[in-house]
Amino acid sequence: MAAEEDRPDTSTLVKQANAPISSIMQIRLQDTYAPEFRDARGQGNTATMAVTMPLPEYRLLPLPQLSVLTVPTAITSPFGKTGFGDVRFVDVGVVNAGHHILWGAGPTLVFPSATEPTTGQGKWQAGPAAVVAFVPERWLLGVLAQNPISFAGDPHRADTNALFLQPFIIYQLGAGWFVRSQPQMIIDWKSSKQLLPVDFGAGRVFTIGRQTVNCFVEPFWNASQNAPSPTYGVTFGLALLYPDFWGRTASGSPGE
């Protein structure tokens, strides 16, 4: 998960295309459909757009930085309401970039931008984030952890304090094909409720003309029993990759 300005090889490109926070710039479009919920008679769907923006070392700080801005553009709850969700941002400074074991830490922020009570939490939130990754040959293994805590917002909405865990396992099959598991788990410290999905998907990184693209499909099943939560579902993803972004925008940078 090292920040690099040179175009990565195919192996690195596949790994970074699927890392939750990546060392290459991406525009990610994702849709998660859940046809069945526990103790709720309805279906759910979440469409999001995310931008990963790496900053090479000394571009802003002495460490490489990996950031993700996630915008839930349309969330449909099982109760029939559809609206914009809460915008999330995470930024991690990476230590030991370029080695087989990488780790980093930084802040995570949540902005109460939801347009419906059921599509957001109504609270300004901030907290710590951390990531660790192991990168042996065809594998990328690791976990991204975030724990935003509310500090302001709608006084009529409940305070928030939850751990978001995103373990990730990516294995390359060759020719850009890969299999992956990247469940997004939630442990709510306030209510003691949990969301514990188990998933497994596959996809491919390829080019269309000069544009590098990543596509995947990832079914999931929810192991937790808390309601209302999806019983099962599927996530579809499409990402536009820009591995030479910094090389195009500048001829060089301090510290090169």
pLDDT digits (tens, 9 = 90+) for 49-77: 999 999 887 666 778 899 999 999 999 98
Residue 85: phi and psi, rounded to 5, are -105, -175
Strands of the chain, DSSP E: 25-37, 44-55, 65-76, 82-83, 87-95, 101-111, 123-134, 139-146, 149-153, 162-174, 177-181, 185-188, 194-195, 197-199, 201-208, 211-222, 230-242
For 105, counting Cβ atoms within 10 Å of its Cβ (0-12 exposed, 13-18 middle, 19+ buried), the class is middle
SS3 state at 175: coil
> Does residue 190 lie in a domain region?
no
The answer for residues whose C-beta is within 8 angstroms of residue 191's C-beta and 6 or more apart is none
Q: What pLDDT, on the 0 to 100 scale, is given for residue 256?
A: 34
Query: What's the domain range around 122?
Result: 10-165
> Does residue 246 lie in a domain region?
no
Identify the helix (H) or strand (E) that includes residue 36: strand 25-37
Cβ proximity of 16 and 1 under 8 Å: yes
Q: Of 241, 181, 238, which Cα lies nearest the Cα of 16? A: 241
> Does residue 119 lie in a domain region?
yes
> Does residue 176 lie in a domain region?
no
pLDDT digits (tens, 9 = 90+) for 152-178: 999 999 999 999 999 999 999 999 999
Of 96-100, 101-105, 115-119, 231-235, least confident by mean pLDDT is 96-100
> Does residue 72 lie in a domain region?
yes
Cβ proximity of 32 and 46 under 8 Å: yes
Q: In total, how many domains does the chain have?
A: 1
SS3 state at 12: helix
> Does residue 242 lie in a domain region?
no
C-beta neighbour count of 168 within 10 angstroms? 20
> Does residue 197 lie in a domain region?
no
DSSP state letter for 161: B
Q: Can you list the alpha helix ranges (DSSP code H) found in the chain?
A: 10-18, 245-249
Residue type, 68: V
> Does residue 157 lie in a domain region?
yes
Find tokens 């990168």 and name the residue.
135
Cβ proximity of 37 and 227 under 8 Å: yes
87 pLDDT above the threshold of 80:
yes
